[in-house]
Amino acid sequence: MARERLVAGIDIGTTKTCAILAEQGRSGRLQLIAAGVAPSRGMKKGLVVSLEETSASVQAAVEQCERIAGKRITSAVVSVAGNHIESQNTRGVTTLPNHGHDVTNADLQRALDSARAVSVPPNREIIHVVPRSYVLDGLEGIKNPIGMAGQRLEAEAHIITGAVGSLHNLIKAVRQTGLEIDDLVLQPLASAEAVLTQEERELGGVLVDIGGGTTDVAVFLDGSVWHTSVLPVGGMSVSNDIAICLRTPLAHAEELKVTYGHTDPAVVVDLPPLDVPTFERGHAQPVSRDYLAQIIQARMEEILGMVGNEIRRSGYSGLLGAGVVLTGGVSEQAGIRELSESVLDLPVRLGEPQGLDRLDDRLSGPAFSTAVGLALWAEHNGTTARATTNGNGSFHVPAAAGKAGRWLRSFLP
């Protein structure tokens, strides 16, 4: 039987669910095998509001991916979002056995376990403990102390927690499809894997992923994440505003936003008006393009203003030499980069997913940054699976191991 090195990721968003399957090629880089995309149902602002509908969306995306790949997916890395997410920075300390002791992986783990031992309310659970840097005998800024000699090792870490109920519902919705979860990954951390360069991480950069129901923010400094948050607003808020202001069905509002929308009314003021359908069958009303742009601009300024407040709240707004990398489906809105620079008073570039070979046109846009990033996260964090393909084309990815697997299994009967 042939051995393959495979990773599977499932991005469960408010508007779409994407399943992705990749393998490690001969070059050592991940290569896309297949992807499936289905409309999301049962999700609101990144949270599960219907187990059955969310499970059906996951099932539809996974089955589409399986048909293209000719393989059966049995487990995957899954994205998580929602405004229940909170983060904090902490430090853990361990004493090394004796003077001159060389730091080992076990020492690093003890330091991180100490950093993990923060006070967490019973209704919250730790999702990530992300190492930022280490301090060895007072020497700061060490990225990898393995093999170095010292007596006292400190680990600086970024702790991300989520509400137990929200996490439990997400896990249950996925498991109802028959899938196991290898790991839960916060959406902005996954997106950052796909769109941020190492230089942006080092100089100080902000990943802003504006999706359908949430806006994810992650601040990076000195190569590591220092602040994360999820805001409960996104592209659907813009579509709802258009639907209400123009008294048009939501589906038409979404089409207007995507096809004709702009964030600067001055750019479209001289263009001919649009015929916008109303709730009265067969009836349409003329709407000026600049009025449509005013609606979009107002909501986007509000969302970007919330992002700016979050950056300032992090305390690192003056250290962001690399500026902002904007991604997610809403980043494709015409004029969004210029508006973002104006509101945030930072340089802004649009980020598209990188790092995965054989990426087709459908998945190369910023709306799929999280999905691509899930595969890269799995590879970079040691959850890349070894799987055996059998005669009927199915494979099994081993269930999550270690601390991540133990806390995931703690939710389950």
Q: What are 318-328's pLDDT values in tens digits? A: 999 999 999 99
The pLDDT value given to residue 101 = 77
The pair phi, psi for residue 85, each rounded to 5°, is: -70, 135
Task: Please state which CATH class domain 86-163 belongs to.
Answer: alpha beta
The mean-pLDDT minimum among 24-33, 321-330, 345-354, 399-408 falls in 399-408
Among 355, 406, 367, smallest CA distance to 28 is for 355
Name residue, tokens 């942006």: 200
Question: Does position 212 have pLDDT exceeding 90, yes or no?
Answer: yes
Q: Which two tokens stand for residue 300?
A: 């986007």
Distance of CA 125 to CAs 20, 118, 121, 128, 292, Å?
Answer: 27, 11, 8, 9, 43
The pair phi, psi for residue 180, each rounded to 5°, is: -95, 160
The pLDDT value given to residue 279 = 86
Q: Which two tokens stand for residue 178?
A: 């028959």
Question: Does position 186 have pLDDT exceeding 70, yes or no?
Answer: yes
pLDDT tens digits along 51-81:
999 999 999 999 999 999 999 999 999 999 9
Task: Identify the band that residue 397 occupies on the pLDDT scale cut at 50, 70 and 90.
Answer: very low
Task: Identify the band that residue 389 occupies on the pLDDT scale cut at 50, 70 and 90.
Answer: very low
More confident residue, 10 or 389: 10
Q: Where are the alpha helices (DSSP H) in 9-163?
A: 51-69, 105-116
Average pLDDT rounded to a whole number, residues 269-274 = 94
The mean-pLDDT minimum among 127-141, 182-196, 392-406 falls in 392-406
Task: Identify the band that residue 249 occupies on the pLDDT scale cut at 50, 70 and 90.
Answer: very high
Task: Identify the band that residue 393 occupies on the pLDDT scale cut at 50, 70 and 90.
Answer: very low
Sign of CA dihedral 346, 352, 11, 161: negative
The pLDDT value given to residue 2 = 44
Sign of CA dihedral 331, 335, 337, 341: negative
H or E element that contains 55: helix 51-69
Rounded distance, CA 339 to CA 326, Å? 12
Question: Does position 403 have pLDDT exceeding 50, yes or no?
Answer: no
Give domain limits for the chain.
86-163
Average pLDDT rounded to a whole number, residues 252-265 = 96
The pLDDT value given to residue 293 = 97
The pLDDT value given to residue 17 = 97
More confident residue, 6 or 163: 163
CB 33 within 8 A of CB 19: no
CB 112 within 8 A of CB 75: no
Q: What is the pTM of this model?
A: 0.89
More confident residue, 181 or 98: 181
Q: What percent of the chain has pLDDT over 90?
A: 77
State the average pLDDT for the chain: 89
Average pLDDT rounded to a whole number, residues 377-405 = 47
User: Which amino acid is present at 324?
Assistant: V
The pLDDT value given to residue 383 = 58
